[in-house]
Amino acid sequence: MISSQYISRIVLQRDKVESFEEYPFSLPSVRALDYIEPHPKVTFFVGENGSGKSTLLEAIAISMGFNPEGGTKNFRFGTRASHSILHEYLLIAKGYKRPRRGFFLRAESFFNMATEIEHLDAEPDDPSPPVIGYYGGQSLYEQSHGESFMTLLMKRFGDNGLYLLDEPEAALSPQRQLEALARIHDLASAKSQFIIATHSPILMAYPDAWIYQFTKDGVSKVAYQDTEHYQVTRSFLMNPERMPKELMNNERQPSSVKNNNRE
């Protein structure tokens, strides 16, 4: 049966990899990767920093034609070539429908994209409408990081879209994350597909989403309640006084302090 979702399977062509001892193939999650099947609506990549979730998301984005530093497929700016070669080894199975629009969001380079928008709109003798008009009409630099991201989500994203988001919660308060979750639901209900790398237990609570956890043992699909993010957050909120005390006890003093105590 032909799939109608924009991305139905992400396959690592392992036979083309010369060595799994070199980055990015040395990452445990990539080393063990065979394939991932994303949810037709919302998929989350979760895991510790350095686990490879953002590296894989970036490779998927490049394979789908997006700029490595983020934006739509029309953006071609670059400040520093920092992306890996992983995209060259991915095979993306696509459905028969193409998305009408799409966006690759990288929290770390979001304002590089804002700068590029200003550069494009400053070009002389350009008869096309200002690019910023597609982002609410107000400079993204004149808004806070969180406000500019919500503007992107509300004004630039639309139905029938493919959206790849890398840690979108970086700029958002808990309340704004809930607002973003509601907007994601509206777009997913309007035939959009999301793949999101995140640390946010709020975002990954999206009902019926598929969650892939990246660990030293590889990548596996897990239930929301089985993610470390949920368990740590729940444990902290159940007893917010206990955990800080445990983290700040004498056993965790810097070695220099301990040495001074012995002298």
Distance CA 140, CA 151 (A): 8
Looking at residues 141-169, what average pLDDT do you find? Answer: 84
Length of the chain as a residue count: 263
Kindly report the CATH number that applies to the domain delimited by 9-115+158-226. Answer: 3.40.50
pLDDT tens-digit profile of 19-72?
999 999 999 999 999 999 999 999 999 999 889 999 999 999 999 999 888 888
Per-domain residue ranges for the chain? 9-115+158-226, 229-263
Return the ∠ at Cα 11 (arms to 8 and 17), rounded to 5°.
Answer: 165
- The CA R_g of the chain, rounded to the nearest whole Å, is 21
- Phi, psi at 94, each rounded to 5°: -115, 155
> Which position has the higher pLDDT, 32 or 123?
32
